[in-house]
């Protein structure tokens, strides 16, 4: 979208790339002002301008022109790959001729014309980011600013990169929408087609946003449970190797890393990137190679049949059949054990730190609990997104041993971050909103610190309550694999040893934070995801 990018040339196809498209496309001609595609259309095709121009309109902003595609440029953003309903409308400006590539052929085209694929993926990410900054886009979410249900809706949409505009219910636009729509109960979501979802479930929202279309029965080579860095990496490598691959997640891509405001020590990104950016790039990459993502969905159990295939029943009623399963379900943050902490969860007490949560507390001091990298990243982000406020970093022991040195040094040099060592929160104070926390220091003194929110990163525990007991755990509940699985005495086969990431259930692998002995860092999770595909090769070719 020319109007949304600085480097327009990078979004233009060469004559050679245009020629390569011709065998996959049809040529269509549109008159001036004629609609080429409309917002809300799913499974949309790719349109490449040969002559004339395409104007891109935002129907949520009185059809304002947000971009113009010149000859050699192409339509679409990430919805072209996710197959979700498009959020903008395109119309011809002057007599316009386009190459139209059917959605069903897009995957083949991207693999056969790799230079075009690179341009498209770069443009899709840039366009979605630019559109998201414009406001008045996609779904409309209306609800109280510090409300569990409202925050969950916004987290879900943010995590699944669904464009939306949030309106506080007590502000003028929120009140206008409530009146216009008959004062529905809060929170509510108005979909692009005008449908209003009142106090919706995540599945309702997924339906309304076009994320969720049906409850699928799949038969695949590899089913991956968990769409964090380990799961997404495995999906990219497996799909690129030609294995049919399906990724399942109960909320959306990103995993625990998706709640990170900035990751700076991941190779290849010297300026850092957010957990959401990492997840978005990973999803687009796996989709490019033909992997599929289904969310929100939960796996209720896993079993292995006599034919060696694994069955994964889903909460929507479907059953996934897979030759190999990778468990990359990650971990969950431990809850803050302080009085009233549970009452304010997602309404002042958070276990993630993204713009969704941070924007609600721009005018107040905040507290961050934890001594690891996630806590350090959150503290830095919160101090930078609202200069002048104080961020109280509460560490139960000494700051440093569990944190990367670069982050430790930055925190100590940041005058807006107050470090409290050997400190724990005993109580969260407030009525409708959080107003302060009672903190106990090493000398047993308790003092009150005024804050408007608490961001908690105090360790994690594995997420595997759905797994059968036949999959062996260590003393802390993490899944054993490889030599540990063999030495547990629970490995059932005598004709071979387990692969390095294979659990005590044959053909079921584990990767990332949930694996026993893993290092809880994004880079190590990515390494696990890569190695898992080597195991898939071994298991499917032996």
pLDDT at 9: 47
Cis peptide before 356 (omega within 30 of 0): no
What is the per-residue pLDDT across 350-372, written as a single tens digit (0 to 9) for each? 999 988 898 889 889 999 999 99
114-123, 131-140, 250-259, 479-488: least confident range:
131-140
Does the 219-332+464-541 domain belong in CATH 3.40.50.450? no
The tokens of 535 are what? 């195991």
Strand, coil or helix: 513:
helix
What is the per-residue pLDDT across 128-181, written as a single tens digit (0 to 9) for each? 877 777 777 889 999 998 899 999 999 999 888 888 999 999 999 999 999 999
Handedness of CA 109, 111, 116, 121 (dihedral sign): positive
> Residue 498 pLDDT > 60, yes or no?
yes
pLDDT at 273: 87
> Residue 288 pLDDT > 50, yes or no?
yes
- DSSP for 125-164? HHHHHHHHHH-S-SEEEEE-TT-HHHHHHHHHHHHTT--E
What is the per-residue pLDDT across 450-460, written as a single tens digit (0 to 9) for each? 999 999 999 88
- Give the CATH superfamily of 139-209: Glutaredoxin (3.40.30.10)
pLDDT at 532: 97
Please state, for a pLDDT cut of 70, what percent of the chain lies above it: 98
Q: How many CB atoms lie within 10 A of CB 185?
A: 9
What is the per-residue pLDDT across 383-439, written as a single tens digit (0 to 9) for each? 998 878 899 999 999 999 999 999 999 999 999 999 999 999 999 999 999 999 999
Q: E strands, 386-487, where?
A: 391-394, 417-420, 424-430, 434-440, 446-450, 453-456, 460-462
Helices (H), 27-171: 79-82, 106-112, 114-134, 148-159
> Residue 2 pLDDT > 50, yes or no?
no
Q: What is the mean pLDDT of residues 479-494?
A: 96
What is the per-residue pLDDT across 208-246, written as a single tens digit (0 to 9) for each? 888 876 677 899 999 999 999 999 999 999 999 999 999
Give the H/E segment covering residue 205.
helix 202-209
β-partners of residue 461 are: 332
Exposure string for 214-244, b = 16+ CB within 10 A, e = fewer: eeeebebbbbbbbbbbbbbbbbbbbbbbebb
Task: List the CATH code of the domain at 349-458.
Answer: 3.50.50.60
Following CA atoms 466, 469, 475, 480 in sequence, which dihedral angle do they give, to the nearest 10 degrees?
-90
Q: Which of 454, 456, 439 is nearest to 374 (CA)?
A: 456
pLDDT at 101: 96
What is the per-residue pLDDT across 460-469, written as a single tens digit (0 to 9) for each? 889 888 999 9
Rounded to two decimals, the pTM is 0.90
Fold match between domain 139-209 and domain 349-458? no
In the CATH scheme, what architecture does the domain 2-120 have? Sandwich (2.60)
List, in order, residues 6 or more apart from 311 with CB less than 8 Å away: 302, 303, 304, 305, 319, 320, 321
200 in Cβ contact with 149 (< 8 Å): no
Q: Which of 398, 213, 231, 186 is nearest to 296 (CA)?
A: 213
Domain limits of the chain? 2-120, 139-209, 219-332+464-541, 349-458
């Amino acid at each position: 979208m020319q109007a949304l990018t600085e480097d327009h040339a990078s979004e233009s196809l060469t004559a050679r790339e245009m020629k390569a498209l011709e065998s996959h496309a049809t040529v269509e001609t549109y008159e001036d002002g004629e609609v080429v595609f409309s917002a809300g259309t799913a499974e949309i095709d790719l349109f490449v301008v040969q002559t004339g121009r395409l104007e891109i309109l935002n129907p949520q902003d009185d059809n304002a022109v947000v971009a113009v595609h010149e000859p050699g440029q192409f339509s679409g953003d990430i919805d072209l790959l996710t197959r979700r309903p498009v959020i903008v409308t395109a119309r011809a400006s002057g007599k316009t001729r386009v190459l139209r590539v059917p959605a069903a052929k897009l995957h083949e085209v991207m693999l056969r014309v790799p230079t075009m694929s690179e341009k498209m993926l770069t443009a899709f990410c840039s366009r979605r980011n630019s559109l998201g900054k414009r406001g008045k886009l996609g779904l409309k979410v209306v609800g109280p600013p510090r409300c569990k249900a409202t925050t969950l809706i916004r987290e879900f949409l943010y995590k699944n990169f669904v464009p939306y505009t949030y309106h506080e219910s007590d502000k003028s636009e929120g009140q206008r929408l409530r009146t216009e729509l008959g004062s529905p109960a809060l929170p509510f979501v108005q979909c692009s087609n005008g449908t209003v979802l009142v106090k919706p479930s995540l599945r309702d929202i997924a339906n309304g946003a076009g994320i969720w279309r049906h409850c699928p029965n799949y038969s695949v080579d590899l089913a991956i449970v968990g769409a964090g860095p380990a799961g997404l990496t495995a999906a990219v490598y497996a799909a690129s190797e030609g294995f049919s691959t399906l990724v399942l997640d109960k909320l959306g891509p990103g995993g625990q890393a998706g709640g990170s405001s900035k990751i700076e020590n991941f190779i290849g990104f010297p300026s850092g990137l957010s957990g959401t950016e990492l997840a978005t790039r990973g999803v687009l990459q796996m989709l490019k190679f033909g992997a599929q993502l289904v969310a929100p969905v939960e796996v209720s159990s896993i079993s292995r049949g006599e034919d060696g295939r694994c069955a994964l029943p889903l909460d929507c009623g479907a059953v996934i059949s897979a030759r190999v399963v990778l468990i990359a379900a990650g971990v969950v943050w431990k809850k803050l054990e302080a009085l009233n902490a549970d009452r304010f969860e997602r309404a002042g007490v958070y276990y993630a730190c993204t713009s969704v949560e941070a924007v609600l507390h721009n005018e107040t001091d905040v507290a961050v609990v934890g001594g690891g990298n996630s806590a350090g990243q959150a503290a830095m982000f919160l101090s930078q997104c609202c200069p002048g406020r104080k961020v109280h970093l509460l560490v139960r022991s000494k700051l440093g041993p569990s944190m990367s040195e670069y982050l430790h040094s930055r925190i100590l040099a940041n005058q807006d971050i107050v470090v409290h060592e050997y400190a724990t929160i005993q109580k969260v104070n407030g009525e409708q909103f959080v107003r302060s926390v009672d903190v106990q220091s090493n000398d047993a003194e308790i003092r009150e610190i005024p804050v408007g929110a608490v961001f908690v990163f105090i360790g994690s525990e594995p997420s595997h309550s759905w797994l059968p007991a036949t999959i062996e755990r260590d003393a802390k509940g993490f899944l054993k694999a490889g030599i540990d699985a063999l030495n547990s005495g629970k490995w059932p086969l005598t004709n071979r040893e387990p692969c390095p990431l294979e659990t005590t259930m044959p053909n079921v692998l584990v990767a990332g934070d949930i694996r026993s002995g893993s290092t809880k860092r994004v880079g190590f999770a990515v390494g696990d995801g890569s190695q898992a595909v080597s195991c898939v090769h071994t298991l499917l070719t032996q």
